[in-house]
């Protein structure tokens, strides 16, 4: 039996691959592109260790994780030019520290309100479109 908790981020199993694609390894976390792309560029930054709450991290790890979140937000702003980045850290059903970073656009879905976790209808892309989004984000992370 594995020592890993039954957590899709820790196990990196099919549940994770059904929802998102890995974009980059960051300081203390991994950046994923969410497959549901109603909000162009929507990502998840997941802490590499298994904790549920930000306050469970030592202060230096908190700072490093939030640096990863801010670095990702800056890259999304550079890559896609949203008017605002929304941040969501829920973990009600998936107890693992992760932030959803959701670019919002003035003329786009849910402007001026909370983003929908799984909007209807859902917008999925083809492999080449995901690859292009991921590459835009990776390029902006370096810049």
Kindly report the pTM of this predicted structure: 0.94
Nearest alpha-carbon partner for 23 in 143, 140, 135:
135
Q: In the chain, what are the domain boundaries?
A: 8-142
Q: How many CB atoms lie within 10 A of CB 123?
A: 13
100 phi-psi bin (left φ>0, alpha ψ -120 to 50, beta other): beta
For residue 98, the model assigns a pLDDT of 97
Distance CA 57, CA 63 (A): 9
Q: pLDDT per residue over 95-112, tens digit each?
A: 999 999 999 999 999 999
Q: What is the predicted pLDDT for the residue at 91? A: 82
Confidence (pLDDT) at 19: 95
Question: What's the pLDDT score for residue 1?
Answer: 39
Residues in the chain: 143
Q: Per-block average pLDDT, block size 10, for the chain (143 residues)?
A: 77 94 98 97 97 96 98 98 95 91 95 86 95 98 89
pLDDT at 26: 98
Q: Distance between alpha carbon 87 and the CA centroid of its chain, in Å?
A: 9
Judge: domain 8-142, CATH 2.170.190.11: no
The per-residue pLDDT for 3 is 65
């Amino acid at each position: 039996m594995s020592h890993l908790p039954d957590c899709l981020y820790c196990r990196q199993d099919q549940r994770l691959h059904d929802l998102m694609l890995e974009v980059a390894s960051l300081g203390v976390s991994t950046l994923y592109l969410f497959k549901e792309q109603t909000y162009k560029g929507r990502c998840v930054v997941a802490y590499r260790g298994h904790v549920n709450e930000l306050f469970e991290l030592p202060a230096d790890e908190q700072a490093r994780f939030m640096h990863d979140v801010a670095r990702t937000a800056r890259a999304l702003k550079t890559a896609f030019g949203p008017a605002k980045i929304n941040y969501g850290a829920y973990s009600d059903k998936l107890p693992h520290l992760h932030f959803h970073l959701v670019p919002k656009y003035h003329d786009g879905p849910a402007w001026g309100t909370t983003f929908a976790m799984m909007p209807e209808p859902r917008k999925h892309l083809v492999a080449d479109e995901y690859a292009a989004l991921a590459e835009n984000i990776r390029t902006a992370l370096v810049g």
